[in-house]
Structure formats: structure tokens, C-alpha cells
Amino acid sequence: MTNSIEDIEDADCILIIGSNTFEQHPLIARRVVKAKDKGAKIIVIDPRKTMTAKQADLYLQIVPGTNVALINAMMHVIIKEGLIDEEFIKNRTKGFEELKKVVEKYTPEYASKICKVDKDLIVEAARVYGSAKRASILYCMGVTQFTHGVDNVKSCCNLALITGNIGKRGTGVNPLRGQNNVQGACDMGALPDVFPGYQKVNVAYEKFEEIWGVELNHEMGLTIPEMIKKAGKEIKFLYIMGENPMVSDPDIKHVEKALKSLDFLVVQDIFLTETAELADIVLPAACWAEKEGTFTNTERRVQLIRKAVNPPGEALEDWVIIKKLAEKLDYGDKFNYKSPKDIFEEIRKVTPQYAGITYERLGVDGIHWPCPNETHPGTPILHVEKFLTQDDLGRIFPIEYKNPAELPDDEYPFILTTGRIIFHYHTGTMTRRSKHMINEINDGFVEINPKDAKKLGIKNNDLVKVSSRRGGVAVKAKITENIKEGVVFMPFHFAETAANLLTNPAIDPYCKIPEFKVCAVKIEKL
């Protein structure tokens, strides 16, 4: 996030795109409610009329995968009607003239045909966002999980840049992270192309070789989809920590085949997940309440976590397991830590954004990175005076709309989009072991628009088969006006009615994220 969670409530307009904030990020949704109470206008762009969409002043029910066309059309209107921030564009950015040429053809009428949103709604949304003194963009995986996810994010950035909505309270481009320490994991280098602090592996390797006293591979690593693709071939051994790809990854039949073809699979987790059931060795880990350390949340706030209870049975904290493995491999001297605090001291040394953060300074409230030294208060808002580029200017990238990898046809006439529901979290590893949650709902379903259901002769709660080119699942139908005609929705929490048996493993060429949000399916009544 460029901004803090707190300052969302200072926005005059909040554009929520590809995020069901009220169900998936309820604490952030409270800030949205506070902003609305102060008079802020809420715009929601989503193919489902979610709980979040029902709070909106303006709701645009988009076809999944057409975000770029819609945002380009909004920018077309904003430029045409003089709602841009000319001073900000002139002094703080580069690339505007190229963007202006590209969005010229994206009239509301043109975009309406692509995204199936009324042209007048597009114009109104552009005017509300463009005329706001302070406008904030909130987005989640309904923006990123596409073969053009990077383009979608860049489009959100373009919209903020041309209206000057960066670098002040109540503005910004604010991704809401999908899990509680995703930001922290990325900060620590859990990405294939960077060391901790986003330092490129092919550039910063000498620094880390000197600090760690080892020779390092200078090549980029692999993403999860790339690992699955090479499993059993170039890759013979996988070590999976706190991840459940047998529910969360696309095209699960392919995932299962890949994992079973390995010579050796180790899974480290707090429960025997669907993935752990395939493992040769399962290492029982401690959960969040059973360990100490830091978490970094979606607003870049580093927070100190204190252990509440001891781990049960043979379970150990993750860092202890890794240290013991290192000792078995005769690398014990490289893992000479006695506590999580020792590890954090090394993090401070190798990660510039964390350099000024100490356990003592974190206290109860934590500190936003970047925090370069111990007198620095932390940085709740990024890009206040300049951007992190060589010339200090923000980059505007003109983006053309491109189709998703798989479109509906005569055989598979519907678009399937996937996501979460309020009662369950991710692959259900924890929530599906909670009697309170499973008493609410413990079965998968497919949402179908009433007009589509009528054509198919399907009634509410009928058992149907949803099939894609990768497989099929039997699931109950939920007939609702909340889903757009021609689109169906399935939650992915439920292994036995796995939506990800159907999803397309096609990936974004830049960030390699799979296209979870769009694939072509057919529906048959059983």
C-alpha cells in the first residue's frame, strides 16, 4: 500500500476494484464505513454484487478480465473533461502524452461493449473519482489474478497519477494482501528474483555473499507455477511450508500428478492438509499463537508478535525446524541464532527498509517501513515528495486492453470466476476445523444468474456439474441476481468441490500469477 489503513477514512472517494473488502478485509472495511459517514463516495467495480458492492454509491458490474478497458475509459473521460491534475503530471510524472494517445479510443461507448457496463455509469464513476479532492484506490486479487494482472495494476497506478492522488492522506494505490504476512514474506525475499528488501539477485549477490559467507546462485529462481511444471522432471525434491497447493493452485489434477512424480516431498504445516497427505515427511509447525517474531501487514506495518502458548506435541517454530535442518546439513554455523530477535537483527542489517526498526521500538503499535535509521519515525505514506526512480518521477505506462487467455465459446459458454466467502479463509485449513464456521457453511456452490439458470432448467440447490477443459465438479447451484449474466462464481475453499480443478494455469508473463479469475466452463444439471 502507498498509504496507511488509517488514512482511508480521510478520502472523499474510494474506488474499490476486484476486492470484496467487507467480507475479506473487515477491519479495513470499517475505515471505508467511516469515510462514507464523513461524506465520501464509494465506487465498486466487481462482477459479483458482493456485500461490498451493496455499500457502494456507484456499482459497476464488470465482465471478469476487462479491468483495463474500464479504467482506460475512466481516464478518457477524466482527460476529456479536464479533471486531471496538470501540476502533478508536469512536476511529478512522465509518460502522460503517450497515455493520452492510447486512451483516446477508449470512449465510454467503446469500453461498454467490452466490459458490459452502461456507458453512463462509466462517465459518472470517472467524474466522481476525477473531481474528488482525495481519492483512494483499494484493490485485491480481482485485479491481480489474470494473465494481464501487471497491466491491471499499472492501470490503477495511471489513474492515481493523472489525478494527483499519490503522496497525501486519503489517496493512493492500495493493494489489500490476501494473507496476514504476505507483505512480510515478500519483504524477506520469498520471491524468485530478489533477496530481502527487494534487492535483485543478479545485482546484489556480492553484498549477500559477503554477509552470509557463502557463494550464491546469481540466477533468478522459479515461481510456484514454474516449480509445479518442472516437478518430477528438473525438480526432484520440494519442501512446502504453510502452503496448500492441492486446493489453492489452478488445474489441481496437474498439481497432484506433479507432486506425486517427485522423488521426495516434505510439507511443514500446522495440520495434515490435502498437500501434506501426499508428503513423504510431514514436519509439524507451530501456529501464530505459539511463536514469536514479526509480521508485516498490508500497510507495511511491522508488528511484534509474542508467544501466547507453547506448541503441542512435537510441533516446533518454523525457524527452529530450519535451524535443525541446517545443522544436520553441516551448515549450523550459518544459522547460529538463539531467538527470533537474533534473526531480526540480521534482517535489519541486510534490509534497508528495516534498518531503523528494533524490537524495542516496535512496542504495541509497530512501525511502517521504510525506516532507514533508529531516529526515523517510519513512513505511513509513500512518494510524498518523490518516487523511487532514478529521476524521482512517477512512471505512467500506457496499457492496451487484451483478452483473458480463455474466453467462452459454444462448448464452454460461461465465464467462471473464483474467490472467497466470509465464513472461510483460503484453503480452509483452519476455518474448516472450526465448528462455528462449518455450521454456517461447509459445502461448495456455484452462483448462477436467474436468466442463465432458467435457460438451463436449473433451480436453486439443484446439483449441477461445472466443467472446464481441465475437469469437472459436482456442486449445488445457488441462483442469485448477485452474479452477472454469463458469469458464474465458485468459492475455492472446499477441496471436495474444488473450483481449482477447473481454473486455467495460464500465467501473467511478467509476474507469473495464474489466471484464477477467468476460465470458460459449461454447466449441466445432474
Summarised one tens digit per residue, pLDDT across range 65-114 is: 999 999 999 999 999 999 999 999 999 999 999 999 999 999 999 999 99
pLDDT for position 427: 87
Does 302 lie in the same domain as 239?
no
Range of the domain at 247: 222-284
CATH of the domain at 427: 2.40.40.20
Does 457 lie in the same domain as 427?
yes
- Among 145, 175, 205, where does a domain finish? 175
Banded model confidence at residue 480, pLDDT cuts 50, 70, 90 = very high
Q: Are strands 514-515 and 504-507 parallel, antiparallel or unpaired?
A: antiparallel
Does 131 lie in the same domain as 269?
no
Share of the chain above pLDDT 90, in %: 93
**Is residue 302 one of the residues assigned to a domain?**
yes
How does DSSP assign 307-358, residue by residue? --SPPPTT-B-HHHHHHHHHHHTT-GGGG--SSHHHHHHHHHHH-GGGTT--
- Among 253, 269, 284, where does a domain finish? 284
**Is residue 380 one of the residues assigned to a domain?**
no
Question: Residues 507-516: what's their mean pLDDT?
Answer: 93
Question: Residues 237-260: what's their mean pLDDT?
Answer: 95
pLDDT for position 401: 98
> In residues, how long is the chain?
526
CATH of the domain at 184: 3.40.50.740
**Is residue 389 one of the residues assigned to a domain?**
no
In this structure, are residues 432 and 493 in contact, taking their beta carbons and an 8 Å threshold? Answer: yes
Rounded-to-integer distance, Cα 453 and Cα 525, Å:
10
Does 210 lie in the same domain as 167?
no
Banded model confidence at residue 422, pLDDT cuts 50, 70, 90 = confident
- Is residue 424 scored above 90 in pLDDT? no
- Is residue 433 scored above 90 in pLDDT? no
Does 36 lie in the same domain as 21?
yes
Q: Across all residues in the chain, what is the average pLDDT?
A: 96
- Is residue 441 scored above 90 in pLDDT? no
Does 107 lie in the same domain as 77?
yes
Cα–Cα nearest to 169, from 358, 76, 38: 38
pLDDT digit string, tens, across residues 339-356: 999 999 999 999 999 999
Q: Which residues neighbour 312 within 8 Å (Cβ) at sequence distance 6 or greater? A: 290
Question: Residues 243-271: what's their mean pLDDT?
Answer: 96
Local structure of residue 370 (DSSP, 8 states): P
- Is residue 6 scored above 90 in pLDDT? yes
Determine which helix (DSSP H) or strand (DSSP E) holds 22, and give its type and residue range: helix 21-24
**Range scoring the smallest mean pLDDT among 225-234, 431-440, 477-486:** 431-440
Question: Residues 385-393: what's their mean pLDDT?
Answer: 96
Per the DSSP assignment, residues forming a β-bridge with 447 are: 478, 489
Does 333 lie in the same domain as 255?
no
- How many structural domains does the chain have? 4
pLDDT digit string, tens, across residues 361-374: 999 999 999 999 99
**Is residue 386 one of the residues assigned to a domain?**
no
Helix 67-80 crosses helix 119-131 at what angle (to 10 degrees)?
Answer: 60
Does 308 lie in the same domain as 370?
yes
Does 295 lie in the same domain as 193?
yes
Question: Residues 268-276: what's their mean pLDDT?
Answer: 97
Does 247 lie in the same domain as 165?
no
**Is residue 395 one of the residues assigned to a domain?**
no
Rounded-to-integer distance, Cα 441 and Cα 422, Å:
10
CATH of the domain at 152: 3.40.228.10
- Among 175, 210, 236, where does a domain finish? 175
Does 243 lie in the same domain as 186?
no
In this structure, are residues 302 and 354 in contact, taking their beta carbons and an 8 Å threshold? Answer: yes
Rounded-to-integer distance, Cα 487 and Cα 147, Å:
18
Question: Residues 454-473: what's their mean pLDDT?
Answer: 97
**Is residue 271 one of the residues assigned to a domain?**
yes
Please state whether the peptide bond connecting residue 175 to the residue before it is cis, i.e. omega within 30 degrees of 0.
Answer: no
pLDDT digit string, tens, across residues 282-295: 999 999 999 999 99
Does 115 lie in the same domain as 231?
no
123: cell is 462517465
